[in-house]
Amino acid sequence: EAQVTQNPRYLITVTGKKLTVTCSQNMNHEYMSWYRQDPGLGLRQIYYSMNVEVTDKGDVPEGYKVSRKEKRNFPLILESPSPNQTSLYFCASTDGTTSNYGYTFGSGTRLTVV
């Protein structure tokens, strides 16, 4: 089944403790992206990647890092999480060649930083 898989689905952590949210897609997509969803703010892009080793900042990159060492994986790293990073996170991918260019999203990771 074609899908984007994120782990974990739920995570509670303490301020300052480094964490990684993993994202993997099995569709051989070139483009991948991370979004966060917050009430009243919709979905905001954190980082995106156009190919292996090619990444760029989205609208809210502060406090996050990403890497794209393999085409299928695009982990999101929070080096020193803070409570304002409590949010619902989505990873997404697209091949960019279909007529609709729509992203396929993962099921989400709900992160709570206390």
Partner 1 sequence: DQQVKQNSPSLSVQEGRISILNCDYTNSMFDYFLWYKKYPAEGPTFLISISSIKDKNEDGRFTVFLNKSAKHLSLHIVPSQPGDSAVYFCAASGSGTYKYIFGTGTRLKVLA
Chain positions 55 to 84 lying near partner 1, rule: CB under 8 A, are: 56, 58-59
Q: Which of 13, 45, 86, 112 binds partner 1 (CB under 8 A)?
A: 45
Report the C-alpha gap between 64 and 54 in whole angstroms: 16
Residue 105 sits in the site that holds partner 1 (CB under 8 A): yes
The dihedral built from the CA positions of residue 13, 58, 48 and 108, taken in this order, carries a sign that is positive
Residue 53 sits in the site that holds partner 1 (CB under 8 A): no
Nearer Cβ to partner 1, position 64 or 103?
Answer: 103
Report the C-alpha gap between 54 and 48 in whole angstroms: 9
Write out the residues near partner 1 by the rule CB under 8 A.
4, 31, 33, 35, 40-45, 48, 50, 56, 58-59, 90, 92, 94, 96, 100-108
